[in-house]
């Protein structure tokens, strides 16, 4: 099946038809216009069809939720799909989210994160014709929103449904870093053979998954991407809504590629504090004056090192441009590993799933530097940049 991309600039994908469409208002103001705001493009194409919407609290268009915008425009949304954290974004990381009904509209919500199969049932799929995706991702292989999108694309292949992506900026679009996923480590935090930081929007990644035949049985789905207007790969885009409870600001998003690896260790990365992903520490770390105590709170009901005084490193005042420039910085994990002197007990199995690579843990234990570890995936980064070129929408 063919993929349709409605682009501001020419798209080089061989499996995409291109229409150049721009917004006069965006040209005048210089503001980024997200795909969900481009109702003049997608409403005529979706009128009269039964729609399923995959979105959450990030699906905001000029202060309104995309669901409300679609309903106001007369579109027939019959099903809502919710990803990790739920449709309103109130659940903890990894917490099971039950299917329910949206209180405002009465539309049924089918959770894709309730601990059962990540694939919708045939009964659910039979209720609609088109899956619409509007999620604010942050461009990390272990961030689960793109995984949910890919699972729905797989379902669309199986049940012969169309998929429409309302594209949004990727705040880490300027960075490509990290090893390509070893597919023997495929999991809910690693779904595609891409680097840890892949520098693509959800729309671009969907095009690549389709074009590289990464979907079920190597098949492709009928895919349309409604791109952002007035957006480039150098645009610094401040997210108007936190994409998940523990990414509260742009610094946390820029440090996330480096500090998320602590999820596969006993070290706290600040869940349960005012600075998630912006500090790290442990009760047994020595020689640090900075300290913090994780508490149970919204988005972190049972954080690591709960109610324990942790000693460690404060990154929450780092300059954002410096955080961007470092890409993945393994110095933080190396520092905590050497300080705690726990040997291989420092790492859980989840560490390999997060890195998507079995060698990085061993390199840390062998005393390799952060620069040496980064050099180990340089070839992966170069190969991926070339591989992704046909699917890039934005200059």
Please give the pLDDT value at position 194: 98
Contact 84, 148 (CB under 8 A): yes
Distance separating alpha carbons of residues 196 and 214, to the nearest angstrom: 17
Q: Give mean pLDDT, residues 222-240.
A: 96
> Which residues does 48 contact at the CB level (< 8 Å), separation at least 6?
76
Q: For the ranges 100-104, 173-177, 326-330, 346-350, which has the lowest average pLDDT?
A: 100-104
Q: Give mean pLDDT, residues 362-368.
A: 98
Kindly compute the dihedral angle of the four CA atoms of residues 112, 118, 124, 127, in this order, to the nearest 10 degrees: 80
Contact 200, 394 (CB under 8 A): no
Which tens digits make up the pLDDT trace of 271-316? 999 999 999 999 999 999 999 999 999 889 999 999 999 999 999 9
pLDDT grade for 115, boundaries at 50, 70 and 90: low
The two structure tokens encoding residue 210:
């389709």
Which tens digits make up the pLDDT trace of 118-168? 789 899 999 999 999 999 999 999 999 999 999 999 999 999 999 999 999
Collapsing DSSP to helix, strand or coil, 286 comes out as coil
Which tens digits make up the pLDDT trace of 154-177? 999 999 999 999 999 999 999 999
Please give the pLDDT value at position 83: 77
Q: For the ranges 82-96, 187-201, 375-389, which has the lowest average pLDDT?
A: 82-96
Count of positions (residues) in the chain: 395
Contact 215, 192 (CB under 8 A): no
pLDDT grade for 98, boundaries at 50, 70 and 90: low
Contacts by residues 14-18 (CB-CB < 8 Å, ≥ 24 positions apart): 14/211, 14/390, 15/207, 15/210, 15/211, 15/220, 16/207, 16/225
Please give the pLDDT value at position 103: 79
Which tens digits make up the pLDDT trace of 247-276? 999 999 999 999 999 999 999 999 999 999
pLDDT grade for 111, boundaries at 50, 70 and 90: confident
Please measure the distance between the N-terminal and C-terminal CA atoms of the chain and give it in whole angstroms.
26
Tokens 């799929």 correspond to 125
* pLDDT of 17 strictly over 60: no
> Whole-number mean pLDDT of the chain?
90
Distance separating alpha carbons of residues 22 and 44, to the nearest angstrom: 16
* pLDDT of 352 strictly over 90: yes
Please give the pLDDT value at position 178: 98
CATH class of the structural domain 3-240+384-391: alpha beta
Q: Give mean pLDDT, residues 27-46.
A: 89
Contact 201, 167 (CB under 8 A): yes
Q: How many CB atoms neighbour CB 189 within 10 A? A: 21
pLDDT grade for 112, boundaries at 50, 70 and 90: confident
Q: φ, ψ for residue 209 (rounded to 5)?
A: -60, -40
According to DSSP, the β-strands at 222-226 and 108-111 are unpaired
Domain layout of the chain by residue ranges: 3-240+384-391, 250-356
């Amino acid at each position: 099946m063919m993929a349709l991309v409605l682009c501001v600039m020419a798209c080089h994908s061989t499996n995409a038809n291109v229409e150049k469409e721009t917004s006069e208002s965006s040209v005048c103001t210089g503001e980024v216009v997200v795909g969900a705001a481009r109702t003049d493009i997608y409403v005529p194409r979706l009128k009269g069809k039964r729609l399923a919407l995959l979105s959450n609290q990030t699906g905001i268009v000029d202060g309104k939720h995309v669901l409300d915008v679609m309903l106001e425009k007369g579109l027939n949304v019959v099903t809502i799909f919710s990803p990790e954290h739920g449709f309103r974004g109130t659940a903890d990381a990894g917490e099971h989210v039950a299917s329910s009904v949206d209180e405002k509209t009465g539309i049924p919500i089918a959770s894709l994160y309730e601990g059962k199969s990540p694939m919708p049932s045939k009964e659910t799929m039979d209720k609609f014709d088109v899956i619409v995706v509007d999620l604010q991702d942050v461009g990390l292989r272990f961030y689960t929103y793109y995984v949910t999108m890919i699972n729905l694309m797989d379902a669309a292949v199986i049940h012969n449904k169309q998929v429409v992506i309302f594209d949004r900026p990727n705040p880490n679009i300027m960075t490509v870093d990290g090893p390509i996923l070893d597919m023997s480590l495929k999991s809910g935090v690693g779904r595609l053979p891409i680097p840890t930081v892949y520098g693509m929007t959800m729309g671009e990644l969907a095009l690549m998954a389709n074009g590289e035949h990464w979907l079920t049985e190597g098949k492709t789905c009928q895919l349309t991407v409604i791109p952002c207007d007035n957006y480039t790969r150098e645009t610094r885009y401040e997210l108007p809504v936190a994409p998940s409870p523990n990414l509260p600001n742009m610094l946390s998003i820029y440090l996330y590629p480096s500090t998320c690896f602590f999820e596969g260790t006993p070290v706290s990365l600040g869940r349960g504090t005012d600075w998630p992903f912006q500090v790290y520490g442990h009760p047994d770390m020595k020689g640090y004056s900075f300290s913090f105590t994780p508490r149970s709170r919204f988005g972190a009901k049972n954080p690591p090192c709960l109610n324990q005084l942790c000693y460690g490193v404060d990154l929450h005042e780092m300059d954002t441009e410096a955080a961007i420039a470092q890409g993945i910085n393994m110095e933080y994990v190396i520092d905590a590993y050497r300080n705690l002197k726990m040997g291989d007990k420092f790492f859980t199995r989840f560490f390999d799933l997060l890195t998507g690579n079995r060698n990085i843990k061993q390199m840390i234990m062998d005393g390799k530097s952060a620069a040496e570890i980064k050099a180990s995936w340089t070839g992966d980064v170069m190969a991926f940049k070339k591989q992704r070129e046909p699917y890039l929408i934005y200059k």
